[in-house]
Amino acid sequence: MTFPRPNDASAPPERPPAQGEAFPPDGSLVLEPEKLRGRVEVPASKSDAHRLLIAAALADGPCEVAVRTTNEDIEATVSCLRALGATIGRTEEGFRVSPVAEPAPAPLLDCGESGSTLRFLLPVAAALGCNARFAGRGRLPDRPLADLVSALARHGVSFSSDRLPFALSGRLAGGEFVLPGNVSSQYVTGLLFALPLLPEGGTIRLASPLESAGYVEMTLRVLRRFSVGVVRGEGTFSVPAGSRCRSPGKVAAEGDWSAAANWFAANRLGSGIEIAGLARDSAQGDRAVEKVLEEMRAGSAIDAHDIPDTVPALAVAAAGVAGTVEIRNIARLRLKESDRIATTVALLRALGGQADEYPDKIVVHGTGRLRGGTADAAGDHRLAMAAAIASTICSSPVRILGAGAVAKSYPAFFGEFRRLAAR
């Protein structure tokens, strides 16, 4: 099954001016070994931005959403919300969102490579009953979705295929939704945005313990800002009948702790970067990375269960430790933009490091230094950034293949990196 590309009305919005991007035509970069010095303000959290934009598009009136930086994943969500019928314009601080009044019939939601966009908006589109079509690229069609699809199917939604691209038919009905908690917290977030759209509300019951609970807490905080009260029970989340997102008028996205993990890792390896723009009371699970890096020592066993996005940065930092560091509980990383366990180990080895791959962990045998060489980002934004941070402890230059992958989450990363470097 194939779908046509979106027409002008539903195509991704014009990309904002480049934010320090520095990619040659072949997407590779060569970085000299040197420490980084200076101040950096982290980009807006794409996790928070996704949630704020979706809530604003489902609210009862316009809302200003301040997002000081954008990226491909955020643009994918903006494009899909426009396709659903929201009007979203640019402002100096981010976006002005006028909510969906009447859903567009059979809209095409092209999620790009954004798993958040797909998993958040799939239940929303089902609740709107607009027979939406979904598409994606890269590894997105292969990322887990079956449990969410099954839960929606049990509540009146049909799918034309069991993997992307597919089309929905029917309208989601309320009631009790049973989901696993150990596959993706994004399933829970998507349903939490959909339930206020159902006249009867509904309840989410977790069949297993919730992983990455901080991300669900982010969703609950956003819903509270939009006047939706979610009742939490023992393994349950309930949205009462008659709930609806109500615009607070203006909201702002937090800074991104997962992006900041790279700069914290650089500091752990001897750089001196002042990292600004982070909320210390954030619900982002990746907030823990600062303490994890501070406490990293030879013999450390790091449980990355709740901070999986920081693993490439943690692994590079571990290479700078004179001894063995284990990073465990990371099996889910095999289904990211790359098999992030395998590609992280390959990156370290390519630069002269020693690391071993296991089904659910990485063991890094650090020596304090790396050799340098050519590292393949494997189409993965977090690998490209980790390779750059690794260059700060290399004895020879690092060539990064596919450096442009950072556009997915942090387009300005290499511009910032060069600004912080002496040469």
User: How far apart (Å, rounded) are the C-alpha atoms in residues 95 and 97?
Assistant: 6
Catalytic residue among 110, 309, 376, 380: 309
Which residue, of 232, 252, 272, is where some domain finishes?
252
Residues 314, 243 share a domain: no
Mean pLDDT, residues 131-154: 95
Residues 54, 39 share a domain: no
Residues 286, 162 share a domain: no
Q: What is the pLDDT of residues 233-253, one digit of tens each?
A: 999 999 999 999 999 999 999
Residues 157, 84 share a domain: yes
- pLDDT of 181 > 90? The answer is no
Mean pLDDT, residues 140-156: 95
Range scoring the smallest mean pLDDT among 10-24, 170-184, 370-384: 10-24
Residues 208, 141 share a domain: yes
In this prediction the pTM is 0.91
Sheet of 133-135, strands arranged across: 108-110, 133-135, 166-169, 158-159
Q: How confident is the model at residue 5 (pLDDT cuts 50, 70, 90)?
A: very low
- pLDDT of 122 > 50? The answer is yes
Q: What is the pLDDT of residues 50-96, one digit of tens each?
A: 999 999 999 999 999 999 999 999 999 999 999 999 999 999 999 99
Confidence at residue 238, expressed as pLDDT on a 0 to 100 scale:
98
Domain-located, residue 247:
yes
Confidence at residue 26, expressed as pLDDT on a 0 to 100 scale:
63
Domain-located, residue 18:
no
Residues 244, 267 share a domain: no
Query: Mind spelling out the 3-state secondary structure of the chain?
Result: CCCCCCCCCCCCCCCCCCCCCCCCCCCCEEECCCCEEEEEECCECHHHHHHHHHHHHCCCCCEEEECCCCCHHHHHHHHHHHHHCCEEEECCCEEEEECCCCCCCCCEEECCCCHHHHHHHHHHHHHHCCCCEEECCCCHHHCCCHHHHHHHHCCCCEECCCCCCEEEECCCCCEEEEECCCCCHHHHHHHHHHHHHCCCCEEEEECCCCCCHHHHHHHHHHHHHCCCCCEEECCEEEECCCCCCCCCCEEECCECHHHHHHHHHHHHCCCEEEEECCCCCCCCHHHHHHHHHHHCCCCCEEECCCCHHHHHHHHHHHHCCEEEEEEECCHHHHHCCCCHHHHHHHHHHHCCCCEEEECCEEEEEEECCECCEEEECCCCHHHHHHHHHHHHHECCCEEEECHHHHHHCCCCHHHHHHHHECC
Q: How confident is the model at residue 210 (pLDDT cuts 50, 70, 90)?
A: confident
Range scoring the smallest mean pLDDT among 28-42, 54-68, 205-219, 302-316: 205-219
Q: How confident is the model at residue 8 (pLDDT cuts 50, 70, 90)?
A: very low
User: How far apart (Å, rounded) are the C-alpha atoms in residues 352 and 357?
Assistant: 16
CATH number of the domain within which 270 lies: 3.65.10.10
Residues 327, 207 share a domain: no
**Domain span holding position 197:** 46-252
Domain-located, residue 111:
yes
Instruction: State how many domains the chain has.
Output: 2
Confidence at residue 25, expressed as pLDDT on a 0 to 100 scale:
57
Which residue, of 252, 286, 302, is where some domain finishes?
252
- pLDDT of 269 > 50? The answer is yes
Which residue, of 195, 225, 252, is where some domain finishes?
252
The verdict on whether 309 is a catalytic residue reads yes
Residues 35, 60 share a domain: no
- pLDDT of 179 > 80? The answer is yes
Mean pLDDT, residues 388-407: 97
Residues 233, 112 share a domain: yes
Domain-located, residue 342:
yes
**How high is the mean pLDDT of the chain?**
93
